Structure 1
């Protein structure tokens, strides 16, 4: 399903939770935002728009590394001599060769590790758990573990600690139900979802 539809469904989840507990418009808007985020999170296992928003663009990093390699090589050729020149040229060539290796998946992994480090430094459990989710999402195939019961349970743990930190009524269930809505919308019984999701990984590879 398209990301925009997942966002709309997630927002609807937030509104539904807010209405069920009689929240004011401002709090309802907050839960809508939380629902949108939760509804998009499972697709962090793709190199899509959500991954781009929480990590540096891999194209920008590739361009930076290439430019650095060219400058290093030019400086070595025109400004150095002897072994220093060869070392500089080798460095420039090396940077040019590794530039294509900086994929969105790698940037997502690096971002996740950075969030883990920040969470540990701040002693915020929900932050380093979120970083762990992001880093893990970068390492798994699309529609695998982030689209499974295990992914939902892990996100529910994150949601628990988010709720503990911000203590907002309805926040926990908005996050959990928003995430679950994404899994439901990607199941085979929804038109256009021939692939479905492997809900019971790693115990079953069968799509539902």
Structure 2
């Protein structure tokens, strides 16, 4: 299912929980946003829209590295001589060749590591675990572990620590139900989902 539909379902989940728990406008907005994020979290393994929002653009990094390579090569050619010039030119070429290697998945991996570091620095268990989730998603195959019961359970642990720190009424239910809605919406019984998900991964790789 397209990410926009997952986001709409997640937002609707947040609003439904807000109405059930008697939230005001601000509380409803918080749960709506939380539902959208949680409903898109499983698709971090595709390096899609949510991945782009929490990591630097790989195209921006590629452009920066290419520019650095050109500047370094130009400086070596115009301002250096002898061995230093050849070394500078070699480094410039190396950066130009390296630039295309910076994929969105790599940036997502780096972002996950940064989130883990921030969680440790801030002594926020939920942030550290969220960073670990991002790292795992960055190297996982699409519709693999993040679309399984294990992924749901791990996200539940993150949700528990978020609830422990923020104590926002309805937040726990919103996060879990929105994440679950993504798994249900990607199952084969929904029209157009021929691929399905490996719900019982890694015990079973059969898509349902």
Q: TM-score, normalised by structure 1?
A: 0.98
Deviation at 1:52, TM superposition (A): 0.8
Deviation at 1:205, TM superposition (A): 0.3
Please provide the CA RMSD for this pair: 0.8
Q: Which secondary structure state, in structure 1, belongs to the residue aligned with residue 47 of structure 2? A: coil
Unaligned runs of 5+ in 1: none
1:50 aligns with 2:50: yes
Deviation at 1:25, TM superposition (A): 2.8
* Map of 1:18 onto structure 2: 18
For residues 93-172 of structure 1, the aligned pairs below 5 Å read 93-172=93-172
Name the CA distance, whole Å, in 1 between partners of 2:187 and 2:142. Answer: 14
* Map of 2:40 onto structure 1: 40
Deviation at 1:27, TM superposition (A): 1.3
Report the number of matched residues: 208
Unaligned runs of 5+ in 2: none
Deviation at 1:21, TM superposition (A): 2.2
Name the CA distance, whole Å, in 2 between partners of 1:11 and 1:102. Answer: 32
Moved over 6 A (4+): none
Name the CA distance, whole Å, in 2 between partners of 1:112 and 1:67. Answer: 26
Q: TM-score, normalised by structure 2?
A: 0.98
Q: Which secondary structure state, in structure 1, belongs to the residue aligned with residue 157 of structure 2? A: helix
Deviation at 1:47, TM superposition (A): 2.1
